[in-house]
Amino acid sequence: MTEREQRYIQDPLFWRAGAIAATIFMSMVLAALTIDTLRQITPGSPRVPSYDVINNSIAYQYDPARAEYAPKIGGEELIFDAFPALGNMSHDLFWWWWLVHLWVEATWEVLIGCIMACGP
């Protein structure tokens, strides 16, 4: 490597310009990929069903035309039956908070404490 090339590589402006160019290029790539991903995951698109299937039964059945298992959307089910269907969202979230914290703290943390207490 010549002395001129060594000076050029050791110059901080070279590395700063390289970092800025790489950041701008990768930001453009990230923006393009984000736009493409948002187009593909939009509800109602061929890849993502619309929101009205949330409480429906979803199972995989063999599709002879495609020669593979494919999702089959069935009738309505009460999937989120553990939570009361209250009209007020703040009441619903209040009871959800208690359910989650009582389950996590009263069950798993106590269980892990018992297992650790009985350890070697």
Q: Token pair of 38, please?
A: 């948002």
Confidence (pTM) = 0.41
Contacts of 57 (CB under 8 A, 6+ apart): 73, 74, 75, 76, 77
For residue 68, give the nearest of 76, 57, 60, 59 by alpha carbon: 60
**C-alpha of 61 from chain center:** 26
What pLDDT is recorded for position 78? Answer: 65
Cβ atoms of 48 and 41 closer than 8 Å = yes
Residue-wise pLDDT for 28-84, tens only, equals 999 999 999 888 888 877 777 777 777 777 788 898 998 999 888 888 776 555 555
